[in-house]
Amino acid sequence: MIDFKSKIFIRSQNAIGTEIASELSGNICAITRRNISSEIFEKNNAVLIDTTTDDMEETLESFILSGKTSAKIFVLTSDDKSFIFDKNGVLFISKSLGTENICELIRYCLNVGNPCKQAEKAASNVLLHMGFQANLKGYRYIIEIISVVIENPELIYSFIQKLYPIVAEKHGVTPISVERSVRHSIELTYDRNYRKFEEFFGYPLQKPTNTEFISFCAEKIRMELL
């Protein structure tokens, strides 16, 4: 099971931390506490450190700027001159932006709140796990088709009439070119990693067609997103 709900830990000692947590709660699991430990950075997708009332300890600042954590780090500041600036991958945000804008920025950075982005991320994870080569055009086309299908399930029955043309128009190519690139990517990956396909589908199978593979992926990812 893929966990699509991002988790953010908010270290705050005032009302703004609670306001941000409440605003994010629709599609992000937000927890607000005063104390912080190294485990917090391992258990959460993101950490927001509020420095609007208290300065950040030197040891904590040194740690978050070291790049030793995979969690996305946000630091809330009282600086009215620089609304947003990046330092060593840490995003410093001025509280003057307002709670709503701060939350939108956090959602954007975590790729949440946008079903299409979530679907793209999930599809990319699936393809890379199965051994698809990211440098092939078919890889990108498959991700886009899956995203379109998840957003518009009825299109699953219209590969030739609608899905291929949609992607083709976006990239300035022909629908036939899209179909061929997708087929090449699937067949190449299957020939190299057919066991990964069997593991993903849950049963032994012959080389899947474009429709069979994409339909299965889209439905499996759609169920995970529900």
**Domain-by-domain residue ranges, the chain?**
6-110, 115-225
pLDDT tens by residue, 41-95:
988 989 999 999 888 899 999 999 988 888 899 999 998 777 788 888 899 999 9
Topology of the domain covering 115-225: Arc Repressor Mutant, subunit A (1.10.10)
Q: Which residues contact 60 (CB under 8 A, 6 or more apart)?
A: 36, 49
Retrieve residue 211's tokens.
């429709």
For the segment 153-161, the average pLDDT, to the nearest whole number, is 89
Q: Kindly report the CATH class assigned to 6-110.
A: alpha beta
Exposure string of 182-207, with b = 16+ CB inside 10 Å and e = fewer, is: beebbbebbeebeeebeebeeeeeee
pLDDT for position 113: 55
pLDDT (tens digit, 9 = 90+) per residue, 134-150? 889 999 999 999 988 88
